[in-house]
Amino acid sequence: MLGIGLDGTLDKFVETANIFAERRPSVRALWRSRTGSFDRVHAILPSTTVVGESLDLTVQVWDEYERVHDVYDGRLRVDSTDSAATYPEHVSFAGDDEGVVTHTDAVTFETTGIQYLTFSRPGTDERFVSNPVRVTADDPDEHVYWGDIHLHSRLSDGTGSLEKGYRFGRDTMALDVVAYTDHDTMGFFIPPTLQRALMHARNFDRSRRVADRFDDPGSFVTLFGYEWTKQPNCGGHINVYFEDPEDAVLFDSRGGTTNTYEKLWRRLHEFEATHDSRVVTIPHHPTEAMYPFDFSAVDYDDELAPLVEVYSQWGSGELPGDEGNPFPLAMGRGEIDDAGHFVRDALSMGYRVGLVAGADYHGPHPGHSLIHADPHLPSTREWVRDGVGWSSIWRVWNERSYPGGLSAFRAPELTRESIFEALRSRRVYGTTQPHRILADLTVAGVSPGEHESTVRLDDRTTPREVSLDVAGTAPLERVEVVKNGSVWRSHAITSDPEAPLSTYTASVSWTDDDPVEGMVWDESRRAVADVYYLRVWQVPRHCSFPGAAWVGPVWVEPPGDD
């Protein structure tokens, strides 16, 4: 009865055992990791505000193993780029506050533009910078909200409870949006048939109830979904999100009427035709060799799957590693060699897919994944309280992963309906954790999500202005506009990780007057429109990974008779 699923489970077990043997850390290093030291400060403010509005400030201290440094008892001096701002002069940690301090209604900016708070430790020359805040004179039509919407709990192959994860995302990471997407079936810790039975019997409904309990419109939004999971060597994975959890249905990957991508999308179209709520599906890690998603072999439905997860802790599936991708997929069996699996391939086939990022972290830490850190021992309390799953196992071994990703939602208000509309309309973009980079791209005045992300020209040679505005969380190394799969324009800023705050921002415009050419995949598939998107690279701190963002695309169509 288990058949293919069991074979996949055994394959995954063998693969994992081999990786453990190959990358086992020294016992001495693991023993030293029991206690960490002060490594950095992470300070969070809302990304958009108006002059005079009071903002909450959340400040965290992290150690070198990506853990909250809960014994720090020092204080930080605070300053601002806005000389007229109101803010606390110091932030103090008492050693018993678990490394996180929140000051409610503590910050007010009085000057429009991009503003920051800066933090320094007395007696050192270390400087830490908050996320950028865009300050406007009037209430903007849309705000930028931040979310982590790809996570797993102990209801599948992760650790920790849903409740703990939602609290961490809301209270520690000050996220606006969180979604857990536990597996409908599974191929390692629990046999696929058993996991399927558990999801149908109780876990699906439990996930729905917990998500509803934590949803708080205007303050904290929870989306409800699950991961439609092909078994090892049988295909790629898709997250399925429902606008209204009360309407949600579990269409699992082993059911006879939903066991292919095309069948799943067909059933979801039927669902939407009979309900007042909508669905979004998002493929992820399409280039992973054990779980590949081949855009060229699928009748892709970009109405129900308008987005692709371009980045997660697995790495980036934008383009191959040997073509300049600094985040080539290295976990598991690594990056697949075959074409057709990269986001660039999907765009060249003519599919209209936007770019988001997620964590795919299997533990109760939305907004801050841990397994890319040096191998370290989770505390005994964590093992006992949160259980055994990928997030605890891979923290002990070097799994060659990256920081997780975040999704930025451009929405008029913080509600499920508004956030879901941002997903469906592609008014979203992705960054690497924990970088809340503000990034905008316009082509002929159109931003991603506006006018179906499409510019329609009267003439194939009509000039169009391509503009970008970026405010980073570190010095910007360069910003790039990718057109039809290749870098079209690049603007370099600095390579100095200690560069001043003036290098954190960039505003650049170019004019494109070349004829629209589109992209070609093969004789039968192509993109008639030109495809533009924005890439942002920040200067890495010491040996850390660079902060990055992906925004877009915007499509520029030639006249209808071309």
User: What is this structure's pTM?
Assistant: 0.94
Cα–Cα distance for residue pair 537/547, rounded to 1 Å? 6
Cα gap 100→365, rounded to integer Å: 14
Residues 387-413 have a mean pLDDT of 88
Do 437-557 and 3-26+144-429 have the same topology in CATH? no
- For residues 24-42, average pLDDT: 85
Residues of 198-235 as b/e, b for ≥16 C-beta within 10 angstroms? bbeeebbebbbebbeebbeeeebbbbbbbbbbbbbbbb
* Residue 355, beta-bridge partner list: 308
Please report the beta strands in 342-404, taking only residues with DSSP state E, as ranges in sequence order.
354-357
Those residues with Cβ within 8 angstroms of residue 417's Cβ, 6 or more apart along the chain or in another chain:
243
Write the single-letter amino acid at 82.
Answer: D
Domain boundaries, the chain: 3-26+144-429, 38-140, 437-557
Whole-Å CA distances, 359 to 99, 364, 401: 22, 11, 11
Whether the CB-CB separation of 425 and 528 falls below 8 Å is answered with no
d(CA 36, CA 64): 6
The whole-number pLDDT of residue 318 equals 96
**Number of other CB atoms surrounding residue 92 within 10 Å:** 12
Quick one: pLDDT at residue 6?
A: 46
Distances (CA, A) of 395 to 149, 284, 372, 377, 446: 21, 22, 8, 7, 43
Residues 140-146 have a mean pLDDT of 96
Q: Is the pLDDT of residue 4 over 50?
A: no
Residue 303's pLDDT is 97
Q: What secondary structure, in 3-state letters, does 419-469 show? A: HHHHHHHCCEEEEECCCCCEEEEEECCECCCHHHHEEECCCCCCCEEEEEE
Query: What CATH architecture applies to the domain 38-140?
Result: Sandwich (2.60)
Q: What is the mean pLDDT of residues 114-129?
A: 93
Check the CA dihedral 180-183-184-190 and report its sign: negative
What backbone phi and psi angles, to 5 degrees, belong to 404? -70, -175
pLDDT at 561 over 60: no
Please choose, from the candidates 247, 241, 178, 248, the residue with its C-alpha nearest in 3D space to the C-alpha of residue 215: 178
Q: Is the pLDDT of residue 509 over 90?
A: yes
> Quick check: bond before 553 cis, omega within 30?
yes
Residues 229-273 have pLDDT tens digits of 988 778 899 999 999 999 999 999 999 999 999 999 999 999 999
| CATH (one of 3.40.50.700, 3.40.50.300, 3.20.20.140, 3.30.70.20) for 3-26+144-429 | 3.20.20.140
The pLDDT assigned to 515 comes to: 96
pLDDT in tens, 68-117: 888 888 899 999 999 999 999 999 998 666 789 999 999 999 999 999 99
Residue found by looking up tokens 């204080």 in the block: 75
Whether 203 contacts 155, CB under 8 Å: yes
| Predicted pLDDT of residue 23 | 66
Is the pLDDT reported for residue 308 higher than 50? yes
**Considering the chain, what is the average pLDDT of its residues?**
92
Cβ atoms of 262 and 253 within 8 Å: the answer is no
- Position 9 scores a pLDDT of 55
Superfamily name and number for 437-557: Immunoglobulins (2.60.40.10)
Amino acid residing at 85: A
Please name which of 18, 93, 102 lies closest in space to residue 58, comparing C-alpha atoms: 102
Mean pLDDT of 435-445: 98
> Coil, helix or strand for 348?
helix
Count of C-beta atoms within a 10 Å radius of residue 511: 9
What tens digit of pLDDT does each residue of 211-235 get? 999 999 999 999 999 999 988 778 8
pLDDT band at 123 (very low <50, low <70, confident <90, very high): confident
Name residues whose C-beta falls within 8 Å of residue 315's C-beta, 6 or more positions apart in sequence.
285, 287, 325, 327, 328, 329, 330, 331, 335, 401, 402
CA dist 118 → 129, 479, 508 (Å) = 5, 24, 25
pLDDT(297) > 90: yes
